[in-house]
Amino acid sequence: MRDPVRREVFIYTDGGRILRPLLLVQNQRLVLSRQHLKKLKVMMRLHGAGACWTYLLKEGVVELLGIEEEEKVMVATNGQDLEKAREYAHAPVYTHSEIDSSFLLGLGAVMIPFLQHNQALRNLHQSEKHCRQAIGYYCTNLWSRADSSAHHLFYPQKPLVTTRAADCLQKPELMNGQVAIVAIQSFAYNQEDSIVMNQASIDRGLFRLVLWASHSLFLRFKSARSFDQ
């Protein structure tokens, strides 16, 4: 990272650093050109996605930035920001651009359907806490695992609405939760943090789960003489 104020250059070489890919921008335009895209189509067909990514890094089209470097750059959300910047003289000078707008979000947030229509606080709660508490069938090699505890839902269901990121992560193969029909009425049974459920649905296995827990048991026996007594 270069600090023009202090005239210093910081080089971080520690392992495990989180890096984020961004498209390079020069003169308010993407460095990525049509020639790059044509060559990528050929390389994808012949060599696969790994060779394409290496090609973009060598050509200087994509750059991997760390947390410290992001403090000194100006990132455009999409191509529309660059178009507006070229029209207005007082627009910010962008140095990088997002590959896709969804890359601003983490893996937990991109799983939320219609995220742009929710309040920001609701999205934060879902991505930070609720997505970790979702219960489903999270693995297929249960008998080969050594988890200390696990929850498995008996009848997980595929959600009615998913996102493109969920399809890329193959999330529909291992579902979480069940599709429940919820009726909201404001004239009776008004309760704040509870819900009135149908007993017939519970009897048929709605939200039924099993808890797997590992316990260590140590047995201490007395001598044979005292044991007989």
Instruction: Write out the catalytic residue numbers.
Output: 193
Q: Exposure pattern of 146-160 as b/e (b: 16+ CB <10 Å)?
A: eeeebeebeebeebe
For the record, the structure tokens of 91 come out as 């627009």
Strands 62-65 and 8-9 come out as unpaired
Buried b (16+ CB within 10 A) or exposed e, 7-46: eeeeeeeeeeeeebebbbbeebebbbeeeeeeebeebeee
∠ CA 70-74-79, nearest 5°, is 120
Tokens of 154: 């008996």
Calpha distance 124→121 (Å, rounded): 5
